[in-house]
Structures are given as C-alpha cells and as structure tokens.
Amino acid sequence: MKFDNETSIIQQKIANGYAGVSRRLAIVNALNLETNETVIDIGCGGGHLVQEISLSIGEQGKVIGIDPSQDQLDVASDKCKDQSNVELICTTADEINIEDASCDKITATQTLEYIEDIDTSLKEIKRISKTNSKFVNVSILWDYFRFYGPEKEINDLIHEAFRAHCFHQMLPLDLNGKLKKLGYKNISSQNLSYLITNRDNNSPAIFYETMLSKFALSQGVSEDKVDDWKKQLNKSEKVGNFGFTSFPVLTAAYLG
Ligand SMILES: C[S@@+](CC[C@H](N)C(=O)[O-])C[C@H]1O[C@@H](n2cnc3c(N)ncnc32)[C@H](O)[C@@H]1O
C-alpha cells in the first residue's frame, strides 16, 4: 500500500486516536528512554512517536525519523518544528544513511510488514544499532484484523481484498526467528490486542472502514458491494452486533 496524501491522512487519524495512543504508550514504556540517547523510528509516518521520544531524551539526545513518504514527513516536520533534537530523513529502511553502530534504541510501528524484502532492512537496522541497543517493533497480526456484523460473504470479500495491502500478514510470528538469526537476545512478545464495538467519528474502526473501502475499490471490488458492506456495518452497530478487532504485537529484543 502506498502512503500517498489520502492514505496518509487516514493513517494519521488512526495514529492520533485510541489505537495509536495505546500502542505508543506501550512502545515508550518498552523503550525505557534515557537522556542523551540516539533513537531512530523506522517508518515514522506523521511523527507522533518521534515527537514523544524527542521530549523524553533531552536536548543533547537525538531522534531520527525515516520514511519514504514525503507526504508523511511534511506532517512530521510540522509537528516537530519546535524541537531541535529531531532529524527526518526521506528514505527506506534498507538504505539508512547514518553511521554504523550509532543508535541506542531502534523502533518501528506497523512498518516492517509493508517491506517486501524485510531481511535486507533488518540487516540495515542491525548495522546502525549499537551493541546492547534495544529494538522495539509493533506489527499487526493481520489475520486477526477483522470487522464483525455484515453478512459473511460480503465481509470475507472486503477482507480478502485487503490482504494485498501488505506483504507480511503475520510478521510478529516470524520476527522472533529472524531476530535470533541476526544475534538478538532476550526476545519477547507482548499482546496489544483490542476490541471496539462502536463506530463514532473518532473510533479507529471508522478510519479502518474508510481504508478498507478505498483499498477494496482499488482491487476491483465494485462500488455497490463496498457500499453494501458499509451499510451492513452501520446496521450492525444499530442492532448491537458490530465489532472490530485488531491484534498488534510488541516485539522487544537486545542486540547481543
Ligand atoms: C502504517 S504507517 C505507520 C506510520 C507510523 N509508524 C505510525 O505508527 O503512525 C507505515 C509507514 O511505513 C512507511 N514505509 C513504507 N515502506 C517503508 C520502507 N521500505 N522503509 C521505511 N518506511 C516505510 C510508510 O510510508 C508509512 O508512513
């Protein structure tokens, strides 16, 4: 999926709301930030986490956000305009133009699953990491990312179309082995799953509904079917059998 202007706006709404705030809280706790550290956020998007890290590491610390989407970086740049310890680089995770062994903490949120050749990116992440540095990743178990309420046939159609939106549907299950192979130690997984039963204007469910609808249309699903799915979601909320589940996993590890 390309994080162009329209998709970026939806993604930033998700980051602003409950889904984004709760996972950033878990990430900041896991990072255990200290002043003067150099921290990098891979696929920083609109810079929500970059800003929070920036405020935690003091003026002598440094936070680097990288992202290949200039639309995302423009928003990040505006958000962090008053913070002197932030550097934003427009690049991909397989080619990070910073020195070897320069980062104390490395983090990525819902980014690695979008990278086809993830092994090259993980090697590049290892290259820029100091010995004993901490790596914290959050990725979603997409098989458990699900709307409930509409009839099975139409619901399956929309979810099946969405599978093409990223390369690695169940990355948290593969990541531990990949990190172990690269020499990481003390690898742990934390369940950040949640259930939402309302579709108010600030609910992640409503933003993901928009994202899935847009993506289904791009995959050739007809407008009639997408509209029908949305109507059924609306109806299910009214009768009280609507649900939306997501299963992010926080993976933490130390580079031995
Ligand atoms: C779902 S967004 C997450 C953004 C942010 N981490 C957050 O949680 O709000 C995924 C981000 O990964 C970025 N991305 C896609 N491919 C990438 C790559 N190869 N290297 C680094 N970032 C990438 C996208 O541009 C997008 O901003």
Side chain identity at residue 165, one-letter code: H
Q: Which residues contact 95 (CB under 8 A, 6 or more apart)?
A: 124
Note whether 130 and 98 are within 8 A (CB): no
Q: What is the mean pLDDT of residues 151-158?
A: 98
Q: Is residue 8's pLDDT more than 80?
A: no
What does the alpha-carbon distance between residue 14 and residue 18 come to, in Å, rounded to a whole number? 8
pLDDT for the residue numbered 256? 83
68 Cα to the center of ligand 1, angstroms: 8
Closest residue by Cα to atom 19, ligand 1, is 92
Q: How many domains does the chain have?
A: 1
Domain housing 211: 5-255
Instruction: Give the C-alpha separation, 172 to 39, whole Å.
Output: 22
**pLDDT value of position 5:** 72
pLDDT digits (tens, 9 = 90+) for 105-120: 999 999 999 999 999 9
Whose CA is closest to atom 1 on ligand 1?
110
Q: What percentage of the chain carries pLDDT values higher than 90? A: 88
The rounded Å distance from CA 111 to ligand 1 centre is 4
To test the pocket of ligand 1, the residue of 50, 114, 128, 136 to mutate (highest count of ligand atoms within 8 Å of its CB) is 114
For the beta sheet containing 129-140, the strands, ordered from the edge strand earlier in sequence to the opposite edge, are: 86-89, 62-66, 38-42, 103-109, 129-140, 248-255, 184-191
Q: Tell me the pLDDT tens digit for each residue of 79-103.
A: 999 999 999 999 999 999 999 999 9
Name residue 130's amino acid: K
CATH number at residue 100: 3.40.50.150
Q: Three-class SS of residue 110?
A: coil
Q: Using most ligand atoms within 8 A of CB, pick from 111, 121, 142, 145 the residue to mutate for ligand 1.
A: 111
